[in-house]
Structure 1
Amino acid sequence: MCGICCVVTLCSQHAIYDFFNKDILCHLQRRGPDSSQQLVKTVSDLSYECLFSGHVLHLRGLMTPQPLEDANNNVFLWNGEIFNGVHVADVENDTEVMFHHLALCSSEADILSLFSSLQGPWSFIYYQASHHSLWFGRDYFGRRSLLWQFSKEPGSAFCLSSVSVQSESAHQWQEVPAAGLFKIDLKACATTKSLSLRLFPWKYSCTEKAAEAIFSNVLDQVSKDLPKDIPLVINASELCLTAPVIPLNKTISEASGGCPSTNVTNTIHMVSVETLQGFLAEEHRKKLVHQFIGVLSEAVKRRVLSLFRDEDEKSREIPSLSKRKAHIAVLFSGGIDSMVIAALADKHVPLGEPIDLLNVAFMVKEHAKQKGTTKKTTWEAQLGLPCPQENCKDLDAATGARLSCFDVPDRITGRAGLKELEVINPSRTWNFVEINVTLEELKKKRQQCISHLIYPLDTVLDDSIGCAIWFASRGEGLISNQGELKPYKSPAKVVLTGTGADEQLAGYSRHRVCFNKRGLEGLNKELEMELDRIASRNLGRDDRIIGDHGREARFPFLDEEVVSFLNSLPISEKADLTLPRGVGEKLILRLAAKELGLTASAVLPKRAVQFGSRIAKLESTNEKASDTCSRLRLLAVDE
C-alpha cells in the first residue's frame, strides 16, 4: 500500500509547491513509512511541469521505492495489490510487474485490456512520456483512495493524491469517481492553457449494445461534480474497461414471492443456531453454502498470504512462538462478518503466528452506564451473553484492569466471539485487543488528523464510522496476559475488514424497509445500487483512515470472485427477509458460519459499528446520520 501524489502545472507562473504542501506530504508519509521520494519532470518546450511523489508501505517482494521511471521517461505511481489476473511471483513486487506490463502497451486498447484483467484493489498514476499523457484511476469498487483538486484559475494546475487536507484557501478536493480510467493530454492542455479529461468507463461487456446510453449516463454522473470550465469527454473510439465481475442476477422465482403478506419481522422470534441447521438439511442450499465458503476462503487466503513476512528474508526458520508477531489483524466486533473473516484467516495464516482481533469501544456516559447495569437486551439474553457489568472489575485504568465503562455491545460480543474462535482453534494465539477511547482523546485526534482523512466526506455517519475505524485500526490497546491486561500495539501491516457483506447480502435495516415496501424486485435494485455507490460512500474513506497507520485495508467480501459468485445467485439464495433478524439478513453467510463451527455469533443481528462501539452516543444523540457534521467542519474554520 502506498501514498501517491501528482501535481501538474500548465503555466510557468504557478509553482508546483503552491499545491503540494507539507501537510499533504506528512499524510502521504504516514501511509507509506518505508520509502518516500519525489520526482519532477519539466517539459520546457510545452510549458508544463509534473511533480510525482511516492510513499511506500512495503508488503510484497523486494522493497521498491516509488515513483518508478524507465529509460523512456515514463513514470509510474501504484497504490494497489494484484491478487489475480496478472501473474506476480512470490519474490516479485507488483509495482514493478505493473510498470513492466504498461511499458509493453502500444495503444490505449492495450492499457485498457491490462487494467481490465486485474483482480485486486488499486489506484494509480501513469505518465506516458512519448504521448505526453497522464493516466489515472481507481479499481471497479474504489477500494483505494484517489482525490483530485483543480486550481481556481481555469486550466492552470491540478493535483491527484491518495489523501489531502482541509483548507479554506484551496479549491475543494473531491474523490476521483471509480468510473473508469481517466486520461489527460498534457501537450494539448499546455497548448490551449485549458484542462480537459477523457474517460474510458467500465462496462460489463465492451460488445454491449446501447453503449451510447451507458456512456451518456456515466458522463453525466462524473461531470456534475467537476468544475464547469473542465470538459469531460468519452473517448471518440468508445473504448472501455471490462468490469471484473458479472452483473447482478435479478431473477425472482415464484416460490420466493414478492412482498410479504404480513410483516413477520416485527414478530419476536427466539433464534438459535438450530434454526440454521434446518436450512442446511436442504441439499441444494448446503451445496451453495460450501461453494460460498470455498470462494470466500480463497479470497481470505490471497489476502493473508500476499505479504512479506520477516522470517522469510533470513534463514526461513520458524522463530520460537514467543518471538512470533502478528502480521494479520481483523477489525473485530464479534459480529457475523468479522467472525467468519477471522475463522477463515485461521485456516491460512501460518501455524503459530498470532492473529490480532482489534475491538474498539468508546467510553459510555455515566448515566447510560447506570441505566444498563441490570438489564440485558433481548439478544444478550437470547444468546446467553453476560450483562454489560458481569465479570468486570471497576479498577483504575492505570493498573491495566478491565473497566466497565467500556463494556459496550461490541466489546461484549467481541469477548464472546473470542471464546468461539478459541474453541475452533485453541492452539492459535488470538490477541483480543481492547481499544478504549475517551471523549477527550476522540476530540483531540479528530482535530489533529481524522477530520482530514474523512475529508472530503462530511456527514455525521462519516464522522462516527471514520473515527471508530481510525482508533480500531491504530491497534493500540490492552491484551490479556495470564489473566492481566497489559498494553499492546499491533505490529500487523494488513487489516482485514468485513466491508461489502451487508451491501451484497441485505444486511442493513434499510433493506428490510425496502423489502416490506417494494418486495424482492425493489430489494434487488437496492442491492445493485449499494455496490454501485460503495466507492463513494465507504471505501475511499476507509482506505485513507486505515492507511494513516501504515497499514493496508483488505476486503475479502469485495474480492472479484466472491462478488461474481454472489451476483450469480438469485436474492432468495442469499437472504430471506421474511425471517427474523439474526437469520434472514445475510442468510447464506450465517449458514457458512454454522458450517465453519461458529455458534452464537452465527445468529447475532446486525449492529453498525457506530452503535456497537457507542461512538454515536458519545457527543450528540439528536443528529441524523446524513446531516453535515459540525465537528468535522470546525477544523476548517479554526485553520
Structure 2
Amino acid sequence: MCGILCSVVDNDHSFNISTAQKGILKNRGPDVQDEMVIDYGFGKIFFAGCVLWQQGESVQKQPVVEDDFIFLFNGDIYNTSKPESISDTTWLAERLAECRCEEQNILKMLKRLEGPHCLVIYDKRDQILYFSRDALGRNSLIIERIPNGFQLLSTSHFENEKISLELPPLGLYRIKLNDLTSCVLHPWQHLNNYATQLVRNLDLAIGWKTTVESPILPDWILNCKLQFSYNFYHFPYVKNNEDLYKNLIAQSEIKETLSIIHTLLSDSIKNRVKNTAPLCRLCLQQLNISLACRHAKLCILFSGGIDCTILALLANQYVPVNEPIELINVAFESVKGQNISEKLWDVPDRITSLVSVNELKQLCPERRWNLLEVNIRF
C-alpha cells in the first residue's frame, strides 16, 4: 500500500506538494520517503514515493532511478521467479532496465505481470511518460487535471481547481511530454462499448485525445487453465448431511478440484509469507537490523468466517513458530448501544471471531494468535 505521486507541470508554473497531500501519502508509506524534480525542457515533473516495506531483505526507496528511466510502483506481482531477498519493485526495476526504454519491450514485460498493481514509468531519453493499472483495477491510481498540468497519485487530498477521477484500468497509457493534448492507450484487450465510454470520459476530464493502438493481450486473461464443469445435482443424494458431505468429497472430480485449489492457495500464501519484510515497524525504527525480530509481521483481516480462518490456518504453516500472527477484527457499534449496560461490540463478526480464534488455538496450540479488536463508533 505505497503512496506514489507524479505531477507534470508546464514551464510557466511551479509545483509544490501541499503538507496535507504529503501527509496522506506518508500514511500509505510510512517507512521511507523520497522525492525528486526533473526538468524536461517544456516543463517539470515531480516524483514522490512513500514506501510501506512488505517485501525483501531491505526497503526499496522510491522513486527508483535506473539508467534512462524513473519508476514508481504500488502493488504485488504474482508467479515470478524472483528471489525472496528482493521486493517486487526491485525485480520490476531490473526488468525495466532490460527493456532499454523500448516500448515493445515494455509491453512484453507488462504482458507477463499478474497481480494487483499500478505503476508510472518515465523515459528520460525520449521524454515519454507511461502509466497503468492492472486489468482488474485492484490498486488505485487517481488522475487529476490541475490548472498547470496533470498528476497521477495513489490517494488525493481535496483541493479546489482540480478534476479527479480513477484512471480507467484499461491498459498502458503513453504521453509524450512535448504534447499534453494527445494520449496513446495500449489496452489489455480489445475495448468494448463500456470501456470506450470510459476513454471518452477520461479525455473530457483531462483535456486530451486518446488514440487506441495494439492490445497487450496477456495470456492469463485470455487463457483460463482451470475449468471445472460438473454439476452437484448429478451425484447421488443422501438425506443425512454428514453422509452427503462424505459422498461429495469422495467423487474423483471434486477430490481433484479440491486438491488443485488447496495447492494453489497454499502456494500463494507461502509466497506472501516468505516475502514478508524481516523487521516489524518497531524494530525498523530502532534499527535493530542485526537482531532477529520476533514480533508479528503478518496480519489477517479476520471476521471469523470460514474464508479468513482457512487463510490463518494455512499461514500458520509458513510463519516461524516463535512469531505471533495478528488477526484484525472490526466491529461496528451495536445499534442497541443506547443502553450503557448493553455490550456495544457484541455484534456477529466479533462473536464469530472469538469462536474461530479459539478453534485456531486448539488446532495450533504452539502459535500465539493475537486478536486485535477494532471498535468503530457511528
**Alignment match, 1:233:** 211
Distance apart, 1:335 and its partner CA? 1.1
Give distance in 1, aligned partners of 2:219 and 2:34: 33
Q: Structure 1's 16 and 293: CA in aligned 2 closer, same or farther, altered over 3 A?
A: same
**Alignment match, 1:175:** 166
Q: Structure 1's 177 and 306: CA in aligned 2 closer, same or farther, altered over 3 A?
A: same
**Alignment match, 1:196:** 182
Unaligned runs of 5+ in 1: 204-210, 258-269, 371-393, 395-402, 440-639
| Cα deviation code 1:342-382 (max 9, x no counterpart) | 11111221212111111111221337879xxxxxxxxxxxx
Distance apart, 1:433 and its partner CA? 1.6
Counterpart pick for 2:152 among 124, 147, 160? 160
Quick check: 2:298–2:325 contact (8 Å CA) kept in 1?
yes
**Alignment match, 1:138:** 133
Give distance in 2, aligned partners of 1:95 and 1:367: 46
Q: Larger helix proportion, structure 1 or 2? A: 1
**Alignment match, 2:220:** 244
Instruction: State whether structure 2 residue 248 is matched by structure 1 residue 279.
Output: yes
Alignment of 1:333-352 (within 5 A): 333-352=303-322
**Alignment match, 2:14:** 15
Could you tell me the TM-score, scaled by structure 1's length? 0.53
- Give the letter for the 1:177 counterpart: P
Quick check: 1:215–1:234 contact (8 Å CA) kept in 2?
no
Quick check: 2:273–2:318 contact (8 Å CA) kept in 1?
yes
Distance apart, 1:283 and its partner CA? 2.6
Quick check: 1:201–1:215 contact (8 Å CA) kept in 2?
no
RMSD, aligned α-carbons: 2.9
Give distance in 2, aligned partners of 1:160 and 1:294: 38
**Alignment match, 1:419:** 358
**Alignment match, 1:513:** none
Give distance in 2, aligned partners of 1:273 and 1:54: 54
Quick check: 2:325–2:369 contact (8 Å CA) kept in 1?
yes
Q: Larger strand proportion, structure 1 or 2? A: 2
Alignment of 1:520-539 (within 5 A): none
Instruction: State whether structure 2 residue 16 is matched by structure 1 residue 27.
Output: no
Give distance in 1, aligned partners of 2:62 and 2:257: 43
- Give the letter for the 2:300 counterpart: V
**Alignment match, 1:435:** 374
- Give the letter for the 1:351 counterpart: V
Instruction: State whether structure 2 residue 330 is matched by structure 1 residue 354.
Output: no
Distance apart, 1:215 and its partner CA? 6.5
Give distance in 1, aligned partners of 2:33 and 2:73: 13
Give distance in 1, aligned partners of 2:22 and 2:252: 56
Distance apart, 1:91 and its partner CA? 2.4
| Cα deviation code 1:113-161 (max 9, x no counterpart) | 1122123332111100111100111122223221100135xxx400100
The count of residues paired between Structure 1 and Structure 2 equals: 363
Instruction: State whether structure 2 residue 97 is matched by structure 1 residue 103.
Output: yes
Q: Structure 1's 404 and 355: CA in aligned 2 closer, same or farther, altered over 3 A?
A: same
| Bigger mean CA deviation after superposition, 226-235 or 342-351 | 226-235
Counterpart pick for 1:75 among 65, 70, 75? 70
| Cα deviation code 1:571-618 (max 9, x no counterpart) | xxxxxxxxxxxxxxxxxxxxxxxxxxxxxxxxxxxxxxxxxxxxxxxx
Distance apart, 1:219 and its partner CA? 3.0
Quick check: 1:180–1:241 contact (8 Å CA) kept in 2?
no
- Give the letter for the 1:159 counterpart: Q
Quick check: 2:249–2:255 contact (8 Å CA) kept in 1?
yes
The alignment partner of 1:294 has SS state of helix
Give distance in 2, aligned partners of 1:243 and 1:222: 24
Quick check: 1:41–1:51 contact (8 Å CA) kept in 2?
yes
Give distance in 1, aligned partners of 2:150 and 2:259: 49
Alignment of 1:396-545 (within 5 A): 404-439=343-378
Give distance in 2, aligned partners of 1:170 and 1:142: 26
Quick check: 2:331–2:376 contact (8 Å CA) kept in 1?
yes
Unaligned runs of 5+ in 2: none
Counterpart pick for 1:218 among 187, 192, 195? 195
| Cα deviation code 1:261-310 (max 9, x no counterpart) | xxxxxxxxx99666533321323212211211111111111112211213
Instruction: State whether structure 2 residue 284 is matched by structure 1 residue 289.
Output: no
Counterpart pick for 1:43 among 15, 40, 43? 40
Give distance in 1, aligned partners of 2:240 and 2:155: 44
Give distance in 2, aligned partners of 1:245 and 1:366: 47
Quick check: 1:82–1:121 contact (8 Å CA) kept in 2?
yes
**Alignment match, 1:559:** none
Give distance in 2, aligned partners of 1:341 and 1:252: 26
Give distance in 1, aligned partners of 2:368 and 2:204: 53
Give distance in 2, aligned partners of 1:289 and 1:430: 27
Q: Structure 1's 127 and 215: CA in aligned 2 closer, same or farther, altered over 3 A?
A: farther
